Every structure is written in C-alpha cells, then in structure tokens.
Amino acid sequence: MFHGNVSLEIAEGLKLLRRRIETAKIPPSQLDETLNIATWNIREFGRRRRSEAAIHYIAEIIGQFDLVGVVELRDRLQDLERILPILGPYWDAVYSDAILDAGGNRERICYLYDRRACSFNGLAAEASPPRKKSGTEYVADSGWWRAPYIASFKAGNYDFLALTVHIRWGDDDVAREAEIRGVANWIAAKMDAKAGEDQDWIVMGDFNIPGRDSPMFAALTSTGLTIPRALLKDEFGSNLARDKRYDQIMHLTRFADDFTLAGGVLDFYASDHKPLFPDLTKEQFTYQLSDHLPLWVQIRTDIDGQLLDQIIQRKRGD
C-alpha cells in the first residue's frame, strides 16, 4: 500500500481501520494457490468527490483482497484514479460503460485486481438479454436496469468468469424477482453454449435480496448457482446493521466443497463511524465510505489434483 505522507488524522484513522480489518480474519492469499475475492457496493462512488481520508480508507479496504467487483462506480472516474496509485503499480481496473438514464443511474461496474495474484484473460462485456426477431429487427422481450458485467480472469491454473450485477431497487418486488431470474437464466444459457468461454463462474454483486427465504433468492438459485460453503452463515449481513444480505457471492463450479476456504464480511463501520469521521453524521459517512460492507471469499486456485481426478474418472468411464 502506498499511502505516502498523509496527515496525522488520516494516519490515525488508518491505524484504527486496520484494527477493524483484523477482526474480519481474512487469510492472506498464496500465489498460484488461493485468491481472495470481494464484492463491494461503494455508495455513489464518483458522484461527489470523496475526501482525502475516504480515498485512503477505501484503498486500504480494497487492498485486503486480490479481485474486487465494485458496484455503483459512477460515470466520473476521478476518485477511482485517485485510489489506484495508493493500491500500487501492480493494480489495474476493468470497468463497464456508464448507463446514463434514470434506471442505469449513471453507474458502471468495475473489477479492481492485483496483477501479482491474477491476470485479466481478455473478455470484458456487458451481458445482453436474449433477443427475438420482430419484423426486421431483433429486440429483447425484457432486460435489466443496469447490465451485468462479465470479465475473464486467471489465477494459478484456474480460469474463471466473474459476473457482477446491481439489480434494480424499488417497490416492485415482482419486477425485481423477474430481473434476478433473467440473470440466472442468462448464465445457464451461457453455460450450455458449445463455444462458451469457461465453465467456472463467480457471480457477485448487489442483488437487493432481503433474505434467503425470499422468492428472489429462489429465482437466483433456480438454475444452479449456490452459496459457497464458507458464506453460509446467516450473520454475514452486508449492510451496516449486518441484518440484510443484499450482497451475494455465488458460484457455478466443477470442483469440490473445499474449493472455497474462507469467507465473511469486512466490517469497517463496527457500529460507530465517529472514530473515522468525527464531524459527520452516519448518513454523511455512508457517502464517504459506503452503506454496504465488502463481502469476501477465499477460493482455491491450485486445482491440478482435482483436474487429474476428473481425467481419471472420465477415462475409467470410457
């Protein structure tokens, strides 16, 4: 981390933040063996210029991981550009275009990743809903307010597709459920495609699902997406009150249960924002850091043994 010659107040805030980070018990990743992945909705990131303290705190939080799917990055990228030098020269970003209408909320989705731990494989695209021919045109019957964003990565000998979403908010639960189901069906169709880029998926983001007993969660898991074993505990709420699981990390994978090794929430709030921003209200604090906490998981990327087992099983079945 390259915080530089920060002020006394920021230095003290970083020391406190690091103590809060330690309580998350995030295991260090091992090159070519494990990868730490997180999803984080950073509230309206880029809409208003963040304070210098907030930029350093956000960078410190992101730097705990190897790959972060960021939700609510706005059309203005100045604050993202302030964070990257603090993270260091080995960090990079891949991000989508902003959607400028009210439904899109001028938002982007961004992947921030440490090139020492994983590499970008070349695919980066917004998901397009299925289309049907209508007259001389091809049009979608339905869609999503903010297009899911997919990118391909490699860590160790594990290639995978990351898909990050920000599902619509609002009072229409039926429409939200339909959008979630549409994303799940789109992933299933990609999995079935003969020329698909990869069979291993990490699906994450802000699904705006109130709980696992919701029809929205049933829609999300209707085509095979599952919660990694390390994230099954109910206490992993990702709002500041820790009682809602709006954010999710799901996977479609060919590998065994020990593919995911650890997971949880990084609680930078700890029920008290004043030590970090003594002059702000809680609401103002959420526009400096966020009203969401990062949800994270550590995955195993050294999969040689499991690949060999699959070859043996396939050969024995011939």
Structural domains for the chain? 8-317 (3.60.10.10)
Q: What are phi and psi of 134, to 5 degrees?
A: -130, 105
Q: Position 183: which residue type?
A: V
Residue of 70, 60, 8, 82 whose CA lies nearest to 39: 70
Q: Assess whether pLDDT exceeds 80 at residue 308.
A: no
Place of tokens 């994450």: 204
**Burial, 180: exposed, middle or buried (Cβ in 10 Å; 0-12, 13-18, 19+)?**
buried
Segments of the chain assigned E as strands: 34-45, 67-74, 91-95, 107-114, 119-126, 131-134, 137-140, 149-155, 158-166, 201-206, 247-252, 260-265, 295-300
Locate all alpha helices (DSSP H) within 23-158, ordered by sequence: 52-62, 78-87
262-285 pLDDT, tens digit each: 999 999 999 999 999 999 999 999
Q: Is 61 helix (H, G, I), strand (E, B) or coil?
A: helix
Say if CB 252 and CB 224 are below 8 A apart. Answer: yes
Displacement of CA 97 from its chain's centroid (Å): 17
The model's confidence at residue 30, banded by pLDDT at 50, 70 and 90, is very high
CB 64 within 8 A of CB 28: no
Q: What percent of the chain has pLDDT over 90?
A: 77
Q: State how far the alpha carbon of 300 is from the alpha carbons of 145, 209, 226, 255, in Å.
A: 33, 27, 17, 10
Averaged pLDDT of the chain: 92
Question: Residue 266 in 3-state DSSP?
Answer: coil
**DSSP-derived secondary structure letter, 102:** T
Give residue 312's pLDDT band: very low, low, confident or very high (50, 70, 90).
Answer: very low
The one-letter code for the residue type at 44 is E
How crowded is residue 315: how many other Cβ atoms within 10 Å of its Cβ?
8
Q: What pLDDT, on the 0 to 100 scale, is given for residue 303?
A: 67
pLDDT (tens digit, 9 = 90+) per residue, 176-204? Answer: 999 999 999 999 998 888 777 777 999 99
Per residue in 125-168, pLDDT (tens digit) is: 999 888 889 899 999 888 899 999 999 999 988 999 999 999 99
- Identify the residue whose tokens are 């043996």: 312
Of 196 and 313, the structure prediction assigns the larger pLDDT to 196
Length of the chain (residues): 318
Q: How far is CA 177 from the centre of its chain?
A: 20
